[in-house]
């Protein structure tokens, strides 16, 4: 990857970062390393944003992201500060990477061994083994070119994409067409198509609305591998918080920002004292990264802040519509209402007696035809009748996340953002999901649950100020990718910047880490 641009112009600037998700944490580290005086304000009782941690009755759950993908991005991030991820957390490569139960009774494991995966593909379709190799070669090329020349670079307007160098690098990339069209060029069997497309859930799209360029995720999946950070994704949050503290970042939790006033050199941020009732039952209070992190974290008291520059990692729409005066907004309410949002989710976190032998650490349960589920997310929003869903059982790998003799697992069902969310609907859906798990995996959970907690549309909206209760933000449709995403710099308020999943490069923990770099460089270039 190329060297980050010079950010020395930020030295001595007082900066407040709003929001402690991965984008905010990353930005804070880059700014502090450049010599800025950085304070990060987090609305909730702990850092990590959607990567919250729930601890209760001896169980510890990652409530948001649970897949550690693209290890090269984490290495690049820590490497910028002359550190390595291993200084803050350890990794285990999963085997299998994940297991798939198809609802016709079929089951398949995808493993770290490419030869074994090739044989698996061939067993479904004659010639699919060779197609698998061809697909991964294309995916690897897209990944290497895409990461170096697009993801890590500033491509904020259409003019950037007609530059001769960009055209040269993009020759042969899958820049147009959908993932469905692209995958059909390689595989006829619908199950193999699903294997190559399941990662779209992490991008918040469907096979029909996600650009074919995202075939690069298969390189991430099969070649780079699937890992588990010991202690869960919360351990990664703790590590980045610890790094930021070493660089001089000050963290304030329980500090919801209620207004952004002023401009470059003269901002005023108003906060309120958080209501303890707003916190997550059993949530860890902040981070557990080490002595320097603990010393750098305080709890908010409702005071105002007066920085030179402001970065928002809070939900972009919330920042513009709720924290800024109308005349200082780049986008109106109609703009945000008209966007395509990544799914929300119905999540059920469960502490269970005994083992769940049938499940892997990561397990997917897929209908043989999942088009109806995607239609009920993007076309005709409704609670899915025949859901595709994900089960995570970290206690398969980490015996610290559950009491002895118990399993820790959660189920995540992608559902449409903005759906009605009531206790009655949740109760009905809980029954449907538990029955579906029993029928399609053989794991009967209902009478073994000793702890459970739900999280759904209204919780995403309330805890994270997420537009329409989306779990991820703006989906990666063709019209919401690269220059079509909102920018890192406000066009209306001098000195206000944005980071996180709504900006480029987009959704996912690795992308949010990179957004922190791009935001810091944008800030340096504007000073």
DSSP structural state of residue 474? B
Query: Between the CA of residue 503 and those of 41, 105, 150, 444, what are the distances in Å?
Result: 19, 41, 14, 41
The yes-or-no verdict on residue 154 having pLDDT over 80 is no
Q: How would residue 293 be classed by pLDDT, with cut points 50, 70 and 90?
A: confident
- Phi then psi dihedrals of residue 467, to 5 deg: -60, 125
pLDDT at 284: 54
CA distances from 202 to 86, 367, 471, 499 (A): 25, 18, 10, 19
Secondary structure tally for the chain: helices H, strands E: 17, 19
**DSSP code at position 183:** H
Q: What is the CA radius of gyration of the chain?
A: 22
- Residue 493 pLDDT grade (very low, low, confident, very high; cuts 50, 70, 90): very high
Contact 473, 50 (CB under 8 A): no
Residues 6+ apart with CB under 8 A from 132: 117, 118, 121, 122, 186
Using CB atoms within 10 Å of the CB of residue 175, give its burial: 0 to 12 exposed, 13 to 18 middle, 19+ buried.
middle
Q: Is the pLDDT of residue 59 over 80?
A: yes
Question: What's the pLDDT score for residue 278?
Answer: 66
Q: Report the DSSP pairing between strands 98-102 and 362-366.
A: parallel
Q: Which two tokens stand for residue 257?
A: 């920002």
For the stretch 458-476, pLDDT in tens is: 999 999 999 999 999 998 7
Helix, strand, coil in percent for the chain, rounding step 5: 40, 20, 40
Burial annotation 284-305 (CB, 10 A radius, 16+ → b, else e): bebbbbbeebeebbeebeeeeb
- Percent of the chain, pLDDT > 90? 76
Distance CA 124, CA 144 (A): 29
Is pLDDT of 167 > 50?
no
pLDDT at residue 204, rounded to an integer: 72
Looking only at the bridges linking them, the beta strands covering 309-312 and 406-415 are unpaired
Cα(273)–Cα(131) distance, integer angstroms:
57
| Ordered structural domains, the chain, with CATH | 8-91+231-338+478-526 (3.50.50.60), 115-224 (no CATH), 340-462 (3.30.519)
Please give the model's pTM, rounded to 2 decimal places: 0.93
Burial of 180 (0-12, 13-18, 19+ CB in 10 A): middle
3 state SS for 464-487: HCCHHHCCCCECCCHHHCHHHCCC
pLDDT confidence of residue 512: 96
Residues 308 and 13: beta-carbon distance below 8 Å: yes
CA distance 40 to 516: 13
Selected residue with higher pLDDT from 479 and 306: 306
Give the model's pLDDT for residue 419. Answer: 97
Neighbours of 391 (CB within 10 A): 25
β-pairing, 257-261 vs 268-271, is antiparallel
Tokens of 158: 């259409």
Q: Which pLDDT score is estimated for 105? A: 97
For residue 95, what pLDDT is reported? Answer: 97
Helix (H, G, I), strand (E, B) or coil at 235: helix
Strand order in the sheet with 107-110: 107-110, 98-102, 362-366, 389-392, 406-415, 344-353, 449-455
Residue 29 tokens read as 């580290």
CA atoms within 13 A on the CB side of 44: 28
Q: How is residue 462 written in tokens?
A: 């309330």
Strands 309-312 and 496-498: parallel
| Block residue for tokens 């859930």 | 201
45-49, 158-162, 197-201: range with highest mean pLDDT: 45-49
* pLDDT greater than 70 at residue 407: yes
Between strands 98-102 and 297-299, the pairing is: unpaired
Strands (E), 51-105: 53-56, 59-62, 91-93, 98-102
Diameter over CA atoms, the chain? 66
Q: Which of 146, 171, 189 has the alpha carbon at shortest distance from 511? A: 146
């Amino acid at each position: 990857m190329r060297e980050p641009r010079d950010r020395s112009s930020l030295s001595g600037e007082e900066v407040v970062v709003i929001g402690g998700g991965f984008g905010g944490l990353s930005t804070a580290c880059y700014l502090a390393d450049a010599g800025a005086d950085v304070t990060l304000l987090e609305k909730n009782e702990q850092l990590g944003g959607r990567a919250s941690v729930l601890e209760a009755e001896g169980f510890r759950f990652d409530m948001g992201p649970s897949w550690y993908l693209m290890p090269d991005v984490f290495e690049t991030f820590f490497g910028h500060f002359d550190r390595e991820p291993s200084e803050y957390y350890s990794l285990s490569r999963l085997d299998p990477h994940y297991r798939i139960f198809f609802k016709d009774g079929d089951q398949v494991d995808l493993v770290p061994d490419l030869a074994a995966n090739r044989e698996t593909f061939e067993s479904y379709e004659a010639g699919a083994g060779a197609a698998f190799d061809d697909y991964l070669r294309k995916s690897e090329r897209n990944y290497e070119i895409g990461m170096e020349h697009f993801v890590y670079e500033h491509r904020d307007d259409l003019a950037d994409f007609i530059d001769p160098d960009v055209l040269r690098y993009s020759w042969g990339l899958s820049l147009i067409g959908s993932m469905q069209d692209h995958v059909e060029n390689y595989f006829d069997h619908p199950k193999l198509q699903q294997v190559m497309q399941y990662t779209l859930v992490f991008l918040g799209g469907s096979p029909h609305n996600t650009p074919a360029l995202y075939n690069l995720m298969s390189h991430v999946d099969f070649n780079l591998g699937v890992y588990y950070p010991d202690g869960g994704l919360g351990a990664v949050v703790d590590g980045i918080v610890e790094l930021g503290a070493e660089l001089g970042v000050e963290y304030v939790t329980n500090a919801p920002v209620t207004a952004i006033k002023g401009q470059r050199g003269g901002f005023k941020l108003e906060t309120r004292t958080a209501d303890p009732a707003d916190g997550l039952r059993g949530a860890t209070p902040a981070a557990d990264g080490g002595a320097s992190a603990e010393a750098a974290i305080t709890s908010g008291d409702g005071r105002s802040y007066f920085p030179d520059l402001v970065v928002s990692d809070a939900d972009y729409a919330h920042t513009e519509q709720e924290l800024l005066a109308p005349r200082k907004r780049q986008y109106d309410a109609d703009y945000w209402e008209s966007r395509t949002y990544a799914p929300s989710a119905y999540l059920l976190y469960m502490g269970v007696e005994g083992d769940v032998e049938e499940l892997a650490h990561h397990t997917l349960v897929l209908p043989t035809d999942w088009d109806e589920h995607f239609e009920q997310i993007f076309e005709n929003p409704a609670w899915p009748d025949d859901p595709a869903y994900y089960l995570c059982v970290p206690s398969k790998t980490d015996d610290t996340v559950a009491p002895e003799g118990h399993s820790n697992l959660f189920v995540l069902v992608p559902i449409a953002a903005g759906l009605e969310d009531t206790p009655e609907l949740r109760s009905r859906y809980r029954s449907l999901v538990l029955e579906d798990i029993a029928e399609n995996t053989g794991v009967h959970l209902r009478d073994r649950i000793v702890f459970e907690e739900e999280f759904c549309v209204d919780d995403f909206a309330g805890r994270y100020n997420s537009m329409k209760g989306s779990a991820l933000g703006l989906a990666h449709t063709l019209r919401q990718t690269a220059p079509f995403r909102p920018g890192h710099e406000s066009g209306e308020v001098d000195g206000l910047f944005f980071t996180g999943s709504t900006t480029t490069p987009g959704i996912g923990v690795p992308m949010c880490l990179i957004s922190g770099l791009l935001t810091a460089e944008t800030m340096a270039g504007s000073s």
